Chains A and B, each alone.
Chain A
Amino acid sequence: MSKPLLIVGGTVIDPAAKREGRFDILVEDGAIADVKPSIRAREGLEAVDAAGLLVVPGFVDLHVHFREPGREDKETIETGSRAAVRGGFTAVCPMPNTDPVVDHGGAVEWVRHEGGRVGLVDVLPIGALTRGERGEELTDFGELFEAGCIALSDDGRPLANSLLMRRALEYAKLFNRPIIQHAEDPSLSAGGVMHEGLVSTTLGLKGIPSESEAVIVARDLSLAELTGGWVHVAHLSCAKSVELIRQAKRRGVRVTCEVTPHHLALTEEAVAGFNADAKVNPPLRSEQDRQALLAGVADGTIDCIATDHAPHTDWEKDADFDSAPFGTTGLETALGVCVRALVEPKTLSWSRLIETLSTNPARIAGLDGDGLIAGKPANLTLIDPKAPWTVEPSRFASKGKHSPFAGWELPCRVVKVIRRGEVMGSDPKGV
């Protein structure tokens, strides 16, 4: 076990414990030992100077693509973990759409083992919902959860078959874990490469209507209501989905959902000039949709922010818009983009932002999410709220050197990440 730490002089923001203010934190044996306005330094304690910094529970990302096994040229669990630490995350949930697909216990164990070998963030796999993500037969849920999956999803490929979705929601009740749906009606989105709207019309690109997402969200909410199962909707992109979920939550449907930083900060306009770095699925939508997403985060309809970190090689992204793959990096820019999109316009307080980046996703992932209280794992992110930096994708730790935020100045940076009492890394020059 590492040396006991004393984190001194920081401003603690801990929504779970409803704590916000000047506190020192004592960390022993990987766990929080004490949180008090002032803790006296003593021999054998390693002091971490947090003056001027925010000290928050470590971020949890419910949605990343680490591409391993299969596409190690795009990302590996190791490079993805480094990117995660730089972004302030202490736990990440890789999606199972690798090659081969993570659809059986052995594959889950391998991902967890590799995550442990790298040892920078907790790697909590999401297992496939159907064998090979083919949408035909369900995977062995029990085996997957026992091997350590925190949820099941065919992310990247929506589960189109309504009966199968019904059975999945029903059967997953045995494990009290969510089915994560990438909501997209493949017949409505077929061939589409961006949001269907004025920009797609101008550029002559095939559009994906918002309804391609909304019809599946509506169906899944109905099925969750029917079965009492837990559906978690991945990366919401449009106003209609937000409204459907808002109403369903009022009715007591068991639904949680996430939104990405890029959907909160960007619109279809980012695609202008055929910018493939802004080609993501679901696509960046209209300003009206973006406003609805912001409102959804503000009123709690949207539970958490997840990056959908989806790195690709340069040569793949540097193609014509139709051929370039969907997906953007997200781990290293998430915090700054969220502060810019949510905190600076006063849509969200810092405390509510931390709730959406740490507390809520931790709970959805089945971590306790109780925050920084004695006895709990010491997973902490230290943020300098007044340290602007310019996004240069070539300097990312991720193998994906592309971002729709290239050239943006972001207002704050992650200074240190402490995972189970151990300092994992600090600012972009570290790790």
Chain B
Amino acid sequence: MADAAVLAGPSTQTLQWTKKDLLGLRELSAEEIRAILATAESFREISLRPIKKVPALRGRTVVNLFFEPSTRTRISFELAAKRLSADIINISASSSSLAKGETILDTIKNLEALKIDVVIIRHAASGVPHLLARHVSASVINAGDGAHEHPTQALLDLLTIQQKKGRLDGLRVSIIGDIAHSRVARSNIWGLMKLGAAVTVCGPPTLIPPHIEQLGVRATYDVKEAIREADVLMLLRIQHERQEAALVPSLREYRLRYGLDRERLKGAKPEVLIMHPGPINRGVEMDSSVADGPYSVILDQVTNGLAVRMAVLYLVAGTSKAEIPADE
């Protein structure tokens, strides 16, 4: 019964969750983001129990619909659904009928005819979750769409920073890497700004998208400057395709100019947090000594990802008035 008291939590009751879908952080208010983080905070404890399961979503059906290869996000969602006792099925692009020429709306309408409750979607094209949300009555959770948003990644980043720093308001966060093609960067920009953090984006000019400063962030090409002032450093993955598209001359060149190694880290604040959404390109955007070093919270991010995804599933699928239940 002690659990129930913990789980009733400090702030889940302050806001009634009303949104059917989670498409991005841009559309959320600061209160809504705080409500998700508070819910996640209370769910974190479930994974520490010997029996890591609560009946919150028993009888609900969740579909993991992944059109892009993903291991960590898909598994994180799958485990989140299972710990809430939902039934979950995984559909990946290779096994889907899209390969056979079916449109994405046909696929989703077929799934809906099977009476699913939540669909978690990952797609290489920006806006696919929004398209689905317009056409189905099931809840849609965006697990990453193109270069647009990846809201649960940003939420787990926010939760990690909050845990480690005790606050978000007034912190300076530098996001370094391929900003132009990063949905993680965009979701984090919205989430961090809404919760009062100041955001700097940093990368070579070819990887900084046009007009990004109009979103309210600062942009710099100077990695030393981005490192020097930050309370949190978020590094993004540099993909090999970027080199092919002539966006960076070579990965070596990127590492030399922007890679985070022990030497560059010397210019950082003493209590800096180092984050990365994974998977890491060791030896490109960061050195192993940094990734595995004392400032790295990369594995805390993964742990928090599970709690955040449980919270999101619970909020969109569960009745908003329900108390978070204790174990059976």
Contact = CB atoms under 8 A, between A and B. Distances in A.
A406 interface: no
Contact of A204 (B103, B104, B131, B183): B183
Interface string B251-265: 000000000000000
A197 interface: yes
Contacts of B124: 322
B325 interface: no
Interface residues of B, number: 26
B210 A204 contact: no
A318 B126 contact: no
B99 to A, nearest CB: 14
Contacts of A206: 147
Interface in B182-232: 183, 186, 209-212, 214-215
B149 interface: yes
Nearest to B145: A204
B175 to A, nearest CB: 14
A230 interface: no
A205 B131 contact: no
Given A203-B126, A273-B130, A322 B146 contact: yes
Interface in A179-199: 196-198
A202 B147 CA distance: 9
B148 A318 contact: no
A201 B216 CA distance: 13
Question: Which of the listed residues B105, B123, B147, B209 has the most CB atoms from chain A within 10 Å of its own CB?
Answer: B209
B214 A204 contact: no
B143 to A, nearest CB: 14
Contact of B210 (A203, A205, A207): A207
A3 to B, nearest CB: 51
B126 to A, nearest CB: 4
A347 to B, nearest CB: 27
Contacts of A196: 210
Contact of A318 (B105, B146, B209): B105
B9 interface: no
Interface in A267-317: 273-274, 315
A202 B190 CA distance: 10
Contacts of B210: 196-198, 200-201, 207
B215 A321 contact: no
A177 B124 CA distance: 45
Contact of A201 (B130, B145, B212): B212
A321 B209 contact: no
Contacts of A323: 104, 125
A274 B103 contact: no
B325 to A, nearest CB: 36
Interface of A: 196-198, 200-207, 273-274, 315, 318-323
Interface of B: 26, 103-105, 123-128, 130-131, 145-149, 181, 183, 186, 209-212, 214-215
23 contacts: A197-B211, A198-B214, A200-B210, A201-B210, A202-B186, A203-B126, A203-B127, A204-B145, A204-B148, A204-B181, A204-B183, A204-B186, A206-B147, A207-B210, A274-B126, A318-B131, A320-B104, A320-B126, A320-B131, A321-B126, A322-B125, A322-B127, A322-B146
Given A200-B209, A204-B181, 12 more contacts: A198-B210, A198-B211, A201-B215, A202-B26, A207-B210, A274-B127, A315-B103, A318-B131, A320-B104, A320-B123, A321-B125, A321-B127
